Amino acid sequence: MKQAKILAALALLGCSLVPISASAQLSNTPEIAAKLGSMGTELSREFVGGTMALYAPIHAVATDDGLTVNRDLAYGSHERQRLDVHAPQEAEGLPVLVFVHGGGFVRGDKGDIANIGRWFAQHGVVTVSMNYRFAPEVQWPAGAEDVASVLAWIGENIADLGGDAMKVVIAGNSAGAMHVADYTFREQLQLENDGVVGSILISPPTVDLENRAVDPQRDAKYYGVDGDRAEQSVVNAVAGREIPVLVAYAEYEPAVISDQTRRLITALAERDGRLPLVNAAAGHNHISIVSHIGSADQTLAPDMLEFISLLTLQGR
């Protein structure tokens, strides 16, 4: 069933790609499933808050039993340069996932993605959830620079918290996906021996700024009103270090994000001469694609976990 839905969703993007296979289980949360499809795709405050509210009762009763959680650890001097670490108790040498939250480059918090840290730690992955500096106080490529700072922190500290600094996958959704993408594709922003073996980009909104309008309320605050759109477009920067990538998107994305995701998939396919790994989250929207992690719905997280496991086993 999921395979058919994935292929149908990919067809809407004008692509024919090979997704990672997994069992779609949005039907395991039927009351939520019934509401998501009727919520539309416009990224208003009501849409974002309404979607998060659907999952809030589920996450509110979740526990950190069996985990060690360290919160608000500093990886830089700015007040926003803080991170949380979820790890299994007595963890040692486990893979590490760094997750970067969304928020249109101007808002959001690592606390909003605690469900992700909890789920992956419960499945054997030390998870670092990071905050980053906001626009307009900082501008492009400050988000990727913050990712680099977190990776430097991991290199010095993660072993003491149960992780392996040479087995790191970096991931993010929405604006967070762009910070991860900039680090993934721009070698001049990368650290030597950073331990990064893979990258997961969920609903990336601004990969090709030459071919989309720049939202003055969010995007322009980060990329600048007069930024060099060709230079800022990661589709023009994929030819360097070929870090393996998993791309994920929701069925009910805003049209501009669907288009931008398609452009990224196309650029990766042209670079690699093969189709990238893709997860199409049937029935989900731009917010629920990450908010559902930790619920009975297993649409995305198992595919992410398999991606992490394969890369670390292969010793990339």
Instruction: Say what the alpha-carbon torsion angle 217, 220, 225, 227 is, to the nearest 10 degrees.
Output: 180
Q: Across residues 112-136, what is the average pLDDT?
A: 98
Strands 126-130 and 82-88, by their bridges, are: antiparallel
Q: Could you tell me which residues come within 8 angstroms of residue 191 by beta carbon, excluding any fewer than 6 positions away?
A: 148, 151, 152, 155
What are the tens digits of pLDDT across the range 48-107? 999 999 999 999 999 999 999 999 999 999 999 999 999 999 999 999 999 999 999 999
- DSSP annotation of 209 reads G
Q: Is omega for the bond preceding 141 within 30 degrees of 0, making it cis?
A: yes
Beta strands in the chain (DSSP E): 18-19, 67-74, 82-88, 94-100, 126-130, 163-173, 196-202, 245-252, 277-285
Query: What pLDDT was estimated at residue 57?
Result: 97
Average pLDDT along the chain: 92
Query: pLDDT for 255-310, tens place per residue?
Result: 999 999 999 999 999 999 999 999 999 999 999 999 999 999 999 999 999 999 99
Residue 307 makes CB contacts below 8 A (sequence gap 6+) with 20, 169, 198, 200, 244, 246, 277
Query: Which residue's structure tokens are 């608000």?
Result: 72
**pLDDT band (50, 70, 90) for residue 316:** low
pTM for the model stands at: 0.92
Band of residue 27 on the pLDDT scale cut at 50, 70, 90: confident
DSSP assignment of 152-172, as one string?
Answer: HHHHHHGGGGTEEEEEEEEEE
Residue type, 215: D
